[in-house]
Amino acid sequence: MTQRVRVELGERSYDVVVGSGATSALGSLIPRGVRRVAVVTQASVPVDVAAHLPASVVATRHLIGAGEAHKSFATIERLCDEFAESGLTRNDLVIGVGGGMVTDVAGFAAASWHRGLPVVHVSTTLVGMVDAAIGGKTGVNIAAGKNLVGAFWQPSGVICDTDHLRTLPQREVRCGHGEMAKYHFLTGDNLLALDLDARIARCVAIKAEIVGDDERESGRRVVLNYGHTLGHALEAATDFALAHGESVAVGMMFAAQLAAVLGRIDAARVAEHRQVIVGEYGLSVEIPRTVSRHRLIELMHHDKKAVDGLTFVLDGANGIAPVRGVSEQAIHRAFDALSVP
């Protein structure tokens, strides 16, 4: 049983198909006139979409490496060279099959090739289904930071087939839970009261509503970065030994402590963060002892939101919102609360 969640963006609106067997709906998401499909994936992804493509379509497979080091300009250049060899035109299609890294890279390659051709994402991880594959954010990393170069390029559709989660490693499940916990604080929804398919669909619906209201993150969409300022810094500081969802979980706990330092929330709300993140989702909020606060502050200065000094998305009496010009003194007090060296 599947359900469709609509991302409303006028002429660029699209469906996200969620549930067991959702991959069978892939053909319905392919735009008319497509003759060639470039499937971008990784060797470790055990999903073959060929059987779900129209017989008239010629498909080629394009592998990218595992790990954040391959989320790079070099990968985009190689993919575009392969697209050229395959004869991919502006009227054809890219399909990204994999987790958030794959869909980010496949989306950016699609946005770049011939200045933009359609892309469909088949997400195979929990964090991809509830966040990364939806909303049109694409990009690669550079030395200065994560996802600093990219494009907003909406897909023609997204597949979230929960059958693909059956063999997902526990660490990947934890990563997804980090993003799910974020939606708890954005809405107050008790997502754990729902079964997995309904939980994913609800996360998709929350994100779709926010993206539909603010596609290019000029306002409200920034709340989707809750926990990500420190989270991205932690990923870089640990050379990605901490995965994305794990880092976001720590980042949300830090954001709660920082909000308390600034008088935006009280101790009970901080305790609620710990209960949800640790007690309900089973995630760690410990910062590795090998990481110093000075390194984290340096990395946070490179965050995309840091246009007026250090900027964080923080909880408050009126909900989660961006807070600009946060002092390093406040940040040190929040780090003290988390016993960061």
Q: In this predicted model, what pLDDT tens digit does every residue of 208-239 receive, in sequence order? A: 999 999 999 888 999 999 999 999 999 999 99
Kindly report the number of other CB atoms within 10 A of residue 325's CB atom.
8
Looking up residue 245, the CATH number of its domain turns out to be 1.20.1090.10
232 is catalytic: yes
CA 293 to chain centre: 25
Q: How far apart are CA 16 and CA 28, in angstroms?
A: 11
Residue 25 lies in a domain: yes
- Between strands 119-123 and 93-98, the pairing is parallel
148 and 10 belong to one structural domain: yes
27 and 168 belong to one structural domain: yes
- Between strands 36-41 and 93-98, the pairing is parallel
Residue 63 lies in a domain: yes
30 and 126 belong to one structural domain: yes
Spatial CB neighbours of 200, under 8 Å, sequence gap ≥ 6: 18, 126, 129, 130, 160, 162
Identified catalytic residue from 32, 115, 166, 289: 115
Length of the chain counted residue by residue: 341
Residue 59 lies in a domain: yes
Question: Which of 178, 194, 214 marks a domain boundary?
Answer: 178
Q: What string of DSSP letters covers 79-122?
A: HHHHHHHHT--TTSEEEEEESHHHHHHHHHHHHHGGG---EEEE
Residue 23, domain extent: 2-178
115 is catalytic: yes
332 and 234 belong to one structural domain: yes
CB 93 within 8 A of CB 120: yes
Output the pLDDT for position 308.
63
**How many independent structural domains does the chain possess?**
2
273 is catalytic: no
8 and 64 belong to one structural domain: yes
CA 275 to chain centre: 23
Identified catalytic residue from 62, 70, 137, 305: 137
Residue 187 lies in a domain: no
Q: How far apart are CA 103 and CA 128, in angstroms?
A: 8
78 is catalytic: no
166 and 18 belong to one structural domain: yes
66 and 161 belong to one structural domain: yes
66 and 130 belong to one structural domain: yes
Q: What is the pLDDT of residues 279-334, one digit of tens each?
A: 999 999 999 989 999 999 999 988 766 556 789 999 999 999 999 999 999 999 99
Looking up residue 46, the CATH number of its domain turns out to be 3.40.50.1970
217 is catalytic: yes
Residue 201 lies in a domain: no
Identified catalytic residue from 221, 264, 273, 305: 221
Residue 94 lies in a domain: yes
9 and 152 belong to one structural domain: yes
CB 340 within 8 A of CB 287: yes
258 and 123 belong to one structural domain: no
27 and 154 belong to one structural domain: yes
Identified catalytic residue from 121, 202, 244, 304: 244
Q: How far apart are CA 39 and CA 314, in angstroms?
A: 38
Q: How far apart are CA 278 and CA 192, in angstroms?
A: 13
164 is catalytic: no
149 and 32 belong to one structural domain: yes
- pTM score, whole prediction: 0.92
Residue 332 lies in a domain: yes
Each residue's pLDDT expressed in tens, for the chain with a length of 341 residues: 899 999 999 999 999 999 999 999 999 999 999 999 999 999 999 999 999 999 999 999 999 999 889 999 999 999 999 999 999 999 999 999 999 999 999 999 999 999 999 999 999 999 999 999 999 999 999 988 888 899 999 999 999 999 999 989 998 999 999 999 999 999 988 899 999 999 999 999 999 999 999 999 888 999 999 999 999 999 999 998 999 999 999 999 999 999 999 999 999 999 999 999 999 999 999 999 899 999 999 999 887 665 567 899 999 999 999 999 999 999 999 999 998 87
Identified catalytic residue from 70, 146, 182, 225: 225
Identified catalytic residue from 228, 264, 273, 305: 228
